[in-house]
């Protein structure tokens, strides 16, 4: 007697749009982006301090683009210069908050944006903790000047660009958990919930004819 195998092929969920795999957690991506930007910020600040002198700019494109060393006690782009200690606490709170959010993050774009904010916040926070004139009062090293724009550094650029990306994601309905809200998401859900068209009826099959004893193949009379 031939045994019947119970092995069944795995179910293919790709054909069913209602069954979608959960996106992976993106904390590692966030931390990698933050680490790269933090290292780049630290490296460029070290080079700037070693090669630039205050009040002696290095011109790159006329007066439009130049390197000039500035010690900034304020926030990004020289804002709030009289609140150094408060900005230090805010930067520390931002770092903690971003890491907490990143533990449940599943959107790649949110991971990129938050990674940029985290890397920039860490870069400036290190300056405020370890540079003169002292802890919580340290001045941030700025060295890039473009046109009329205030002097900034890599960390400032990362924070601003990351914040802009997060605002854009929020406006267009992209959520940190990888889902999307709004009109487009409603249309997508409606499309996936649309009922399938009814199956076409199978064609009728001819009834088999009974063989007569004389082999003519005609049906027997009742």
Q: Rounded to whole angstroms, how far apart are CA atoms 98 and 96?
A: 6
* Cβ-contact 62, 95 below 8 angstroms: no
Q: Which H or E run includes 89?
A: helix 84-102
Helix/strand number for the chain, H first, E second: 5, 3
Decide if 142 is catalytic: yes
**Integer CA distances (angstroms), 123 to 113, 118, 130, 200, 207, in order:** 16, 9, 11, 65, 83
Beta bridge partners of 65: 61, 146
From the candidates 16, 63, 156, 206, give the one annotated as an active-site residue.
156
Q: Rounded to whole angstroms, how far apart are CA atoms 71 and 10?
A: 62
Tell me the three state secondary structure of residue 42. helix
* Cβ-contact 107, 26 below 8 angstroms: yes
From the candidates 7, 142, 177, 206, give the one annotated as an active-site residue.
142
| E strands in the chain | 58-61, 65-72, 140-146
Decide if 211 is catalytic: no
Question: Hey, which residues are catalytic here?
Answer: 142, 156
């Amino acid at each position: 007697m031939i045994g019947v195998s119970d092995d069944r092929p795995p179910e293919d969920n790709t054909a069913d749009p209602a069954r979608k795999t959960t996106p992976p957690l993106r904390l590692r991506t966030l931390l990698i982006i933050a680490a790269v930007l933090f290292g780049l910020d630290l490296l460029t600040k070290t080079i700037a301090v070693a090669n630039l002198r205050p009040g002696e700019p290095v011109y790159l494109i006329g007066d439009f683009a130049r390197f000039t060393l500035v010690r900034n006690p304020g926030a990004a782009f020289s804002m709030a210069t009289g609140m150094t200690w408060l900005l230090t606490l805010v930067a520390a709170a931002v770092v903690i908050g971003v890491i907490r959010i990143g533990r449940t993050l599943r959107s790649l774009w949110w991971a990129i944006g938050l990674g940029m904010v985290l890397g920039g916040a860490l870069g400036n926070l290190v300056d405020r903790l370890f540079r003169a004139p002292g802890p919580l009062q340290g001045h941030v090293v700025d060295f890039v000047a473009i046109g009329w724009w205030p002097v900034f550094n890599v960390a400032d650029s990362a924070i601003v660009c990351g914040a802009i990306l997060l605002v854009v994601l929020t406006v267009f309905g992209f959520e940190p958990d990888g889902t999307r809200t709004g009109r487009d998401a409603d249309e997508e859900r409606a499309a996936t919930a649309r009922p399938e068209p009814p199956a076409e009826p199978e064609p009728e099959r001819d009834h088999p004819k009974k063989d007569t004893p004389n082999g003519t193949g005609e049906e027997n009379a009742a």
